[in-house]
Amino acid sequence: MASPPPPPFSCFLCLLWLSMISLAIVSTNATPPKKPIDVPFHKNYVPTWAYDHIRYFNGGKEIQLVLDKSTGTGFQSKGSYLFGHFSMQIKLVPGDSAGTVTAFYLSSQNSEHDEIDFEFLGNRTGQPYIVQTNVFTGGKGDREQRHYLWFDPTKDYHSYSILWNMYQIVFFVDDVPIRMFKNSKELGVRYPFNQPMKLYSSLWNADDWATRGGLEKTDWSKAPFVASYRGFHIDGCEASVEAKFCATQGMRWWDQKDFQDLDGWQYRRLQWVHNKYTIYNYCNDRSRYPTLPPECHRDRDI
């Protein structure tokens, strides 16, 4: 039997590089999710509708969604997933984006569906975007939170990510958690755990509700409205749409202890966002919820 050839030189370098990275990881206290890897659009996604309103650049490393008077557009992941880390870099519609909504979300495909949403509500030039987040379980949502951002999301790319495991759902903007939804099944709150979800993104006209509650209409003389995307990172447990569990449950990095809760730095950042940038939190809406939803007892102070 021939002995296997020695590994190529480049791989000694990559081993060295890998060990340096793991040293760097071991020596920090914070436990952000693994760094996303940029891949082209086509690796993980396909268009969903209005194919001709998606523009591709650099072999799909960057794309743009285009909204005009005739239609918006959207795309979805090829696979469906039960848990993982999903990240997108987005540069939102610049200039006058009032009335437009850009969304990035996970959703299962059945009637009692689960959903984890980022929605970006446009605004008049120079007025702030709103980020609305929501979590649906078993077909029921009504858990909106709304925040302003601490930067102009139309100037540069920023990353918007979702970490979803058996313990928590965390919404990140860059490295900052802006929302956490803990698994509170012991409080009787349904948690998304047995319905694989696909990722979706879209840009459409929602001037019946989006900006200042529908008061500000889309100015079609400013069309087309363009949102830019890159990154397209998906690191999840891929499962068929009908699957009830993930085959590698408990074995992936996002299942491990470091990702079952936020660390101190992350809690402080979450608190900072909630203190400074919250516009609306369903947990504080006493007219809508005279009795506090059970999960809010846990999450209220953050």
**Binding of ligand NAG by 211 (CB under 6 A):** yes
Catalytic: 242?
A: no
CB of 101 to ligand NAG, least distance (A): 9
CB of 50 to ligand NAG, least distance (A): 24
What does the alpha-carbon distance between residue 216 and residue 233 come to, in Å, rounded to a whole number?
Answer: 34
| 112 Cβ contact partners less than 8 Å away, ≥ 6 residues apart | 138, 139
Candidates 59-67, 103-111, 121-129, 224-232; binding stretch for ligand NAG (CB under 6 A)? 121-129
Q: What is the DSSP letter of 173?
A: E
Amino acid at site 210 = A
| 80 Cβ contact partners less than 8 Å away, ≥ 6 residues apart | 108, 109, 196, 197, 198, 238, 239, 240, 241
Closest CB to ligand NAG among 44 and 211? 211
Q: Which of 115, 216, 238, 242 is catalytic?
A: 115
- Candidates 88, 97, 166, 167; CA nearest to 129 is 97
**Binding of ligand NAG by 121 (CB under 6 A):** yes
Number of residues lying near ligand NAG (CB under 6 A): 7
What does the alpha-carbon distance between residue 129 and residue 154 come to, in Å, rounded to a whole number?
Answer: 9
Q: What is the DSSP letter of 188?
A: T
CB of 74 to ligand NAG, least distance (A): 20
Give one DSSP letter per residue of 61-123, joined into a string.
Answer: TEEEEEE-SS--EEEEESS-EEEEEEEEEEEPPPS--TTEEEEEEEE-SSSS--EEEEEEE--
Tokens 């071991």 sit on residue: 26
Residues belonging to the chain: 302
Closest CB to ligand NAG among 80 and 211? 211
Q: Which of 119, 144, 238, 295 is catalytic?
A: 119
**Binding of ligand NAG by 127 (CB under 6 A):** yes
Closest CB to ligand NAG among 87 and 211? 211
**Binding of ligand NAG by 212 (CB under 6 A):** yes
**Binding of ligand NAG by 130 (CB under 6 A):** yes
Closest CB to ligand NAG among 31 and 278? 278
Candidates 88-96, 107-115, 127-135, 294-302; binding stretch for ligand NAG (CB under 6 A)? 127-135
Site residues (vs ligand NAG, CB under 6 A): 121, 123, 127-128, 130, 211-212
Active-site residues, by number, are: 115, 119
